[in-house]
Amino acid sequence: DAGDEKSAALAHSDDNLVHLSRNLGDQISRRQRFLIDYQDASYAKQYTDFVARVEQVESGQAPGRNGLAQAVAKYLFKVMAYKD
């Protein structure tokens, strides 16, 4: 199905574009826009809210680090953008 192929291609291209926006906020915004187009604003908000919660906990436990938030942002997006 063309929608499945588009979804897979865009999710894969996310890996290739990470070097273009190292800033976590930029990555989240780009993924949020994709999820809005893919589903709707409410679906995208679930993504951004979850990543924000992880970011908040991580900054409290490991100030100045964001590796966990980056991983959650990347892999949660992949799961949410996957069309079965």
- Tens digit of each residue's pLDDT (9 = 90 or more) over 3-17: 666 555 555 555 555
Give the total number of structural domains in the chain.
1
> Angle formed by the axes of helices 67-81 and 2-17, to 10°?
170
CA–CA gap between residue 43 and residue 70 (Å, rounded): 19
Q: Which domain holds residue 42?
A: 2-81
The type of residue at 35 is L
CA–CA gap between residue 74 and residue 79 (Å, rounded): 9
pLDDT at 1: 62
pTM, two decimal places? 0.74
What's the whole-number mean pLDDT along residues 49-58? Answer: 96
